[in-house]
Amino acid sequence: MSAKQKSILIFCPTFFGYENRMADAFRDEGFDVSLYNERPNSGFICKAALRLNLKLYKPVVTKYIKRVIEENKDKQFDYIFVVKSEAITEKEAAMLREAYPNAKMILYFWDSVANIPDGEKKIALYDRVLTFDPDDAEKYNLPFLPVPYGKEYTKVEETSEFKYDVAFIGTAHSVRPRVVKQIKEQCEMNGKRCFTYFYSPHKLVYLFNKLTNKDYKYISLKEINFKSLSTKEVCDIYNSSRCVMDIEHPKQKGITTRPIEMLSMKKKILTTNSYVKRFDFYNENNFYILDRNDPKIDVSFFETPYLPVDEEILYSYSPKKFVETLLGL
């Protein structure tokens, strides 16, 4: 693919370094990339206002997009790429189209359409729309495109000695505290070493969950981290682990990014997400499906070696393939 001299304006939520993964995928293909947060900022109030779709916050978003356009007034982008579109509404999309009339506007849902404010209405605002959700792909007749693994996840340290048998790193939402702690207890009873890192974006979020989520009784405040790990820190921990635990949100459809990231790291997966069985990389040796309501683990799963997937399959989830599919090349 020849992408020299092409330029792209990317709006992507800041989330565990995924925004940089998206930008790097295009930079590696020769694009001039201008990267911005899809939200006006990453603060708690901003996130809450957007999730609740508060009308009072909409002028803040409009002002933010005006600032981005002003900062790039001397540029003519070939593409405008919006990830998730939690903040950008019809008004802001129209502003971008007016400012950059020659740009092809692309929307990528990395959440289910039902979880995005006015998600279904936003489909008509773009020239090309793709989704990571296989059910939404069928329902709305959209191209299906999983989030790719990042190039940082290809730095695999080959070893037969692991610091941990299983690692979990993720936001402490929904059933995760219970499922992770129940599996951790079973593993440790069988002499297996576990690493867990529960993240919460704010103490108010933790308090709300503590009051409303019955599964939060399984964790205490001292087990919650309000600072997310860097991508390097996450990769170092995964490299030191035999298996990785993946517990998706009960409302999420499709798979999380974790199984795909672990393809390039050659890690076995414990997951509550049976959707992985639909994918070409699935095999019973590398995946152990957990029942989220009554999670049980057969520790013999840890003893069998990882079976590498075919290189052609691995490529189909690479950053390069992601760019090609996203742009319709």
- Report the pLDDT value the prediction gives residue 221, as an integer from 0 to 100: 95
- Report the pLDDT value the prediction gives residue 1, as an integer from 0 to 100: 46
pLDDT surpasses 50 at 2: no
pTM: 0.85
- Report the pLDDT value the prediction gives residue 195, as an integer from 0 to 100: 98
pLDDT surpasses 70 at 279: yes
Q: What average pLDDT does range 129-144 have in this prediction?
A: 94
Q: What average pLDDT does range 246-256 have in this prediction?
A: 84
Q: What average pLDDT does range 36-57 have in this prediction?
A: 84
Q: What average pLDDT does range 68-94 have in this prediction?
A: 95
pLDDT surpasses 80 at 274: yes
Which residues pair with residue 268 across a beta bridge? Answer: 243
- Report the pLDDT value the prediction gives residue 201, as an integer from 0 to 100: 87
Confidence of residue 142 (pLDDT cuts 50, 70, 90): very high
